[in-house]
Amino acid sequence: MGAQELEQSSLLIPEVKSRKKRRDVHAGDRRFFWTLRAVALLILAVLIAIAVQLFLVSLPAIRHFGVGFVFSTDWNPVRNRFGAAAFVYGTVVSSVLAIAIAFPISLGVALFLNELAPRRLASAVGFLVEMLAAIPSVVYGLWGLFVVAPWLRTVFEPMMIRYFGFIPLFQGPPYGVGMFTAGVVLAIMITPTISAISREIFRAVPLSHREAALALGATRWETIRLGVLNSSRLGILGAVILGLGRALGETMAVTMVIGNRKDIALSLFAPAQTMASLLANEYAEASDDLHLSALATVGFLLFLVSFLINSLARFLVWRVESRQKEGAPR
Amino acid sequence: MAQTSIILQTKRVNAYFGKVHAIQDVSLEFRSNTVTAMIGPSGCGKSTFIRTLNRMHEEVPGARVEGEVLLDGSNIYQPGVDPVSIRRRIGMVFQKANPFPSLSIFDNVAAGLKLAGFQRRTVLQEVVERSLRQAALWDEVKDKLKAPGTSLSGGQQQRLCIARALAVSPPVLLMDEPTSALDPISTAKIEELVMELKNEVTIVIVTHNMQQAARISDHTAFFLMGEMVECDLTSRIFTKPRDSRTENYITGRFG
Ligand SMILES: Nc1ncnc2c1ncn2[C@@H]1O[C@H](COP(=O)(O)OP(=O)(O)OP(=O)(O)O)[C@@H](O)[C@H]1O
Ligand SMILES: [Mg+2]
């Protein structure tokens, strides 16, 4: 009996000790967890606070114009009539244009640097491309205004109008500043983002996927297509979303090259206006309450559009992901 | 066993990773419709060696190969030979199953055919079914050919990779530890498969499992520190090896 008791107690002691220790560890874990949770909640709170604040300032304009605000292209501070359709259109079209131009270029750059270029060249060029992201947007704006716009006006736009003028998108006089110029400048600004993220994604593709393709007798291009691109579709979509997010909200450079015309023109070469550039142009001068409220409403819309586009993209990613998992054995 | 013809042969093959001399003067013969097992301690160069057989070794930056590998009598390292064409004739299955994650089961198996230029749906369907049957996977997946290849279990994925390699009807199939990541039942299935497949293809299989080598192979080659120590009938290697180093390894005295 005595011996048994002794054995039991000696068995128990280390267990108690270790349990105590474990509890301490848990306490640390909990502190860490709550700190992180607080930080995360704070970010969420800031987001909600901004949305609510914007909404409150927008209320007078929303009450006054109702849903028509989004569909009307009439923006006339003198007569106190406000409609944001032209700016929503300008924001969406210039950003989509930017993605359409930047996406193939970024993908090409990323593939070239990761798959084809010798390592030295790749790191040098990669560094330069990433440096593009560090240039202040006002510098892009200046460059767009003094270099890109004149070239587009005198060379590219006349050519497009001549050969593709039968398409309404390419009709009308070449202005130089306008929707298309904004798209081009935005494209250059988001290329480093998209290509840098794509490079990371390509780098993360396991060697085994490439080897699978190679061992099947794939050529270099086929290996890239089958073993690299195929495995990174979701990530590339993510890269495009981030680029799009940047393009939607970009203000300074766009304001300088888009021509600031408060109307919807079918031609891409005509001047236009985005939500962000409208705010930059008019906020300082707005004195009338309704005007200020209308501008806040535009800000709120910009917030919503960014939010919706990001959500849509997330939804796409989620759907593709869940489809890939479908039928998986738990 | 009747002697069959030599389909694949290496003559003094040397393989390097930069300055590292990983394979030294290995000369081996592989007879058609046989299974040859490569055994040896970790790091002795088994993977490197079989990767010289389908010109995968040179895909590693800085790696190179010297010597000759004769496939049906002609040297695959002859200048002007396209490695792509060699890899279409010598299939490979890796240690870790690697189906293309974004492709369906069907498209995974059809991938090699499509690379080789086959487009007709009926042809693809026929070959996909045949290959999946060969890989003993057809009954398990025939109702979900459109599901992603990665939705299968580990053992099924490995058989999918075998089907993918078989689809282009390669005369030779290389397998680098195809069962080392699998459970015993999946392993048994693949071993059974290997023994059936040898009626159609010549198999070179790397394995760490000596029982596996003894069960499924006709010949066994023992590697040690980049050299091929000896190669003989499996029954002889495991009963009376000629080299004492082989005997030590097999009896578990080192490695
Ligand atoms: N990418 C590489 N670069 C440099 N050396 C390498 C590389 N891969 C392998 N080696 C070296 O080549 C030798 C043979 O390696 P290999 O992978 O062929 O061994 P193995 O027999 O397949 O081993 P295991 O049983 O662990 O798979 C080892 O000494 C290894 O260190
Ligand atoms: Mg190996």
Q: Domain spans of chain B?
A: 6-250
Residue B49 CA, closest ligand 1 atom number: 18
Q: A113 and A57, same structural domain?
A: no
> Is B207 close to ligand 1, i.e. is its CB under 6 Å away?
no
Residue given tokens 């480093």 in the structure block? A192
pLDDT value of residue A166: 87
Q: Using CB atoms and an 8 Å cut-off, which of residues 88-147 of chain A contact chain B?
A: none
Which residue among B14, B26, B47 has the greatest number of ligand 1 atoms within 8 angstroms of its CB, and so is best to mutate?
B47
Residue B60 CA, ligand 2 centroid: distance in Å: 14
CATH assignment of the domain containing A102: 1.10.3720.10
Q: A184 and A235, same structural domain?
A: yes
Q: What is the mean pLDDT of chain A?
A: 85
> H/E/C letters for each residue in chain A?
CHHHHHHHHHHHHHHHHHHHHHHHHHHHHHHHHHHHHHHHHHHHHHHHHHHHHHHHHHHHHHHHHCCHHHHCCCCECCCCECCCHHHHHHHHHHHHHHHHHHHHHHHHHHHHHHHHCCHHHHHHHHHHHHHHCCCCHHHHHHHHHHHHHHHHHHHHHHHHHHHHCCCHHHCCCCCCCCHHHHHHHHHHHHHHHHHHHHHHHHHHCCHHHHHHHHHCCCCHHHHHHHHHHHHHHHHHHHHHHHHHHHHHHCCHHHHHHCECCCCCCCCCCCCECCHHHHHHHHCCCCCCHHHHHHHHHHHHHHHHHHHHHHHHHHHHHHHHHHHHHCCCCC
- Measure the CA–CA gap between B173 and B88, rounded to whole angstroms: 10
Which phi and psi (to 5°) does residue B33 adopt? 60, 40
Q: A298 and A181, same structural domain?
A: yes
> Is B62 close to ligand 1, i.e. is its CB under 6 Å away?
no
Indicate the pairing of strand B227-233 with strand B219-224.
antiparallel
A31 within a domain of the structure (yes/no): yes
Which residue among B26, B48, B206 has the greatest number of ligand 1 atoms within 8 angstroms of its CB, and so is best to mutate?
B48
> Is B81 close to ligand 1, i.e. is its CB under 6 Å away?
no
Indicate the pairing of strand B90-93 with strand B172-176.
parallel
| Joined tokens for residue A267 | 């031609």
Answer whether residue B3 shows pLDDT above 70: no
The percentage of residues in chain A with a pLDDT greater than 90, rounded to a whole number, is: 41
Q: A172 and A26, same structural domain?
A: no
The percentage of residues in chain B with a pLDDT greater than 70, rounded to a whole number, is: 98
Write the burial class of residue A277 (CB in 10 Å: 0-12 exposed, 13-18 middle, 19+ buried). Answer: buried
Q: A258 and A225, same structural domain?
A: yes
Q: Which domain holds residue A230?
A: 84-327
Answer whether residue A12 shows pLDDT above 50: no
Q: Does A213 touch chain B (CB under 8 A)?
A: yes
Answer whether residue A321 shows pLDDT above 80: no
A78 within a domain of the structure (yes/no): no
Q: A168 and A109, same structural domain?
A: yes
Distance from CA of A222 to the nearest CA of B (A): 8
CATH 3.40.50.300 applies to domain B6-250: yes
The residue of chain A nearest to residue B58, with distances taken between CA atoms, is A214
Judging contacts by C-beta atoms under 8 Å, the chain A residues touching residue B102 are: 230-231, 233, 324
Q: A116 and A153, same structural domain?
A: yes
Q: Kindly determine whether residue B168 and residue A217, on different chains, have CB atoms separated by under 8 Å.
A: yes
Residues with CB under 5 A from ligand 2 (ion): B 47
Which phi and psi (to 5°) does residue B170 adopt? -75, 140
Answer whether residue A11 shows pLDDT above 50: no
> Which ipTM value was assigned to this complex?
0.90
Q: A181 and A275, same structural domain?
A: yes
> Is B43 close to ligand 1, i.e. is its CB under 6 Å away?
yes
Rounded mean pLDDT, B100-124: 92
A307 within a domain of the structure (yes/no): yes
- The closest residue, in CA terms, to atom 30 on ligand 1 is B43
Q: A211 and A106, same structural domain?
A: yes
Q: A217 and A124, same structural domain?
A: yes
pLDDT value of residue B84: 94
Write the burial class of residue B133 (CB in 10 Å: 0-12 exposed, 13-18 middle, 19+ buried). Answer: middle
Answer whether residue B195 shows pLDDT above 80: yes
- The closest residue, in CA terms, to atom 26 on ligand 1 is B42
Task: Provide the number of structural domains found in chain A.
Answer: 2
pLDDT band at B54 (very low <50, low <70, confident <90, very high): very high
Q: Kindly determine whether residue A324 and residue B164, on different chains, have CB atoms separated by under 8 Å.
A: no
Instruction: Sheet containing B6-17: give its strands across.
Output: B20-31, B6-17, B63-71, B74-75
Judging contacts by C-beta atoms under 8 Å, the chain B residues touching residue A233 are: 102
The residue of chain B nearest to residue A219, with distances taken between CA atoms, is B84
A75 within a domain of the structure (yes/no): no
First to last CA, chain A: 50
A13 within a domain of the structure (yes/no): yes
* Amino acid letter, residue A234: L
Answer whether residue A23 shows pLDDT above 70: no
What distance lies between CA B161 and its chain's CA centroid? Answer: 11
Q: A16 and A154, same structural domain?
A: no
Residue given tokens 């015993």 in the structure block? B184
Q: A99 and A58, same structural domain?
A: no
Residues A181-210 pLDDT 10s: 999 999 999 999 899 888 888 888 888 999
